[in-house]
Structure 1
Amino acid sequence: MEHVSAVLLGVPYTLLVTVVALAIGAVLGLPLALARRSPLAVLNVPARVVIDVLRGIPPVVWLFIIFFGIGNQFVTLDPIQAGSLGLGLISAAYLAEIYRSGLGAVHSGQWEASSALGLSRTDSMVRVVGPQAFRVALPAASTYAIGLLKDSSVVSAIGVADIVFQATGDSRATGAALAPFLVAAAIYILLGTPLAIASRRMDSRLRMRVAR
């Protein structure tokens, strides 16, 4: 029980970093997705490079660059800020591809129909195409959120007192090599299970709507 109470101290920090990183990714991923779909090379190519770079470098390396590099040289960032920013940027790259897939799943005729109704490109996106793309992308985005929750454990490497950080500290303090990490694993499962169930339900509902 002592291991449970110790490791639980990290739950708020894990959730905080996950939610903030997901919010950053959700916001920054949209312009990246739109640029990635643009027929203009001046937008498409840089967006592709940014996405590939963000996805191609391991998350822990990004955290070290942001916390020990940018955080020490240019602006002051505490571990939570650096961890949230680093994972947020990585999330933006992955969510951009999810958004792009969602937009690509919407039939081109939707754009043509919107134009025929006199809607501008922006209005068509907001009122017609965007909501449809959102429904398509939501299950994949939910699945990614579950992965982000687990991947947030890397922030312990820069000192964020998350679940893994607390488990490591408890292991060192008590000499228990395994128990704290089994508790950590159980907590991650308990946190991720509701998201997984919600994701499957959303996916099922989407498939039913498409089938109709």
Structure 2
Amino acid sequence: MNAADLLVFIRGLAWTTALTAGSFAIGAILAVPLLAARRSRLLPVRLAAGVLIQIVRAIPPILWLFIIFFGLGMSYFPINPFVAALAGLGLIAAANMAEIYRGALSSIHHGQWEACAALDLGRWDTMRDVVAPQAFRVALPSAASYLIGLMKETAVASTIGVTELAYQGNQLSQLTFRGLEVFAIVGLFYIFLSLPVAWLSRLADAHLRSKVAR
């Protein structure tokens, strides 16, 4: 692999990193109101949120990208491939993160809510000071695992022309006819991307375990 090939991989790596981080951030933020709807006391709202989450998770990521880029983008308004991929993967991340949040909140014993109510703590104070720190610790390993999985899912963005790592690898393999070598290097880049996430999540989890009651 020469310097020119390395530059190709680095460009793809930058787009993969940007797409992963952007999609995860969108998902982590949108999951909060989605979770609120999922836990609503109003049955229609709760059911609608549950159905939406199931629909989003049931459709393959590549199909969501096709719907957004080829369907909406070509039929109604032009859309950039990266923006389409960001929207599609961000939508999927929101549905999955909402379920991760919901599982983390469900793990908090109801007695803690009752104790906070007995201490006359408001719902917001209870969530912010008591429940959320514990739920965050519970959600962290699952969120980190999903982030690693999301990074690998970004490869589907190559199908709509996003020049991320898999796309660059495919282009380079067609130019050089060294497919095994090229894709082995692409695989190594994905490994190098995932290892820091796994390491940081374990480090954060260990820190939270020492600070937050189980």
Mapped to 2, the partners of 1:205 and 1:16 lie a distance apart of 27
The alpha-carbon deviation at position 96 of structure 1 amounts to 0.7
Q: How many residues align?
A: 212
- Corresponding residue for residue 184 of structure 1: 186
Q: How does 1:1-212 map to 2 (within 5 A)?
A: 1-2=1-2, 3-205=5-207
- Which amino acid counterpart does residue 89 of structure 1 have in structure 2? L
- CA separation in 2, counterparts of 1:130 and 1:59? 30
Deviations 1:4-27 (A, max 9, x none): 332222011001111110011001
Would you say the 8 A contact 1:62–1:86 is kept in 2?
A: yes
Q: Structure 1 stretches of 5 or more lacking a match?
A: none
Shift of 1:176: 1.6
Identity across matched positions, percent = 47
Report the Cα offset of residue 33 of structure 1. Answer: 1.8
What TM-score does the superposition give when structure 2 sets the normalisation length?
A: 0.91
TM-score, reference length from structure 1: 0.92
**Does the 8 Å contact 2:23/2:86 carry over to 1?**
yes
Distance in 2 of aligned mates of 1:92 and 1:13: 20
SS in 1 for 2:179: coil
Q: Which whole-Å CA distance do the structure 1 matches of 2:115 and 2:185 have between them?
A: 54
Q: CA deviation at 1:69?
A: 1.2
Spell out, residue by residue over 1:173-197, the C-alpha distance to the aligned partner (whole angstroms, 9 max, x if none).
Answer: 1122211111100000011111112
Does the aligned pair in 1 maintain the 2:101–2:135 contact within 8 Å?
yes
Question: 2:162 aligns to what SS in structure 1?
Answer: coil
User: AA paired with 2:199?
Assistant: I
| Aligned-residue RMSD, C-alpha | 1.9
Whole-Å separation in 1 of the counterparts to 2:79 and 2:102:
31
The CA deviation at 1:211 is 8.3
Q: Distance in 2 between matches of 1:16 and 1:211?
A: 35
Contact 2:137 2:209 in 1 (8 A): no
Asked if the contact 1:32–1:47 (Cα under 8 Å) also holds between the matched residues in 2, the reply is yes
CA distance in 1, matches of 2:213, 2:132: 20
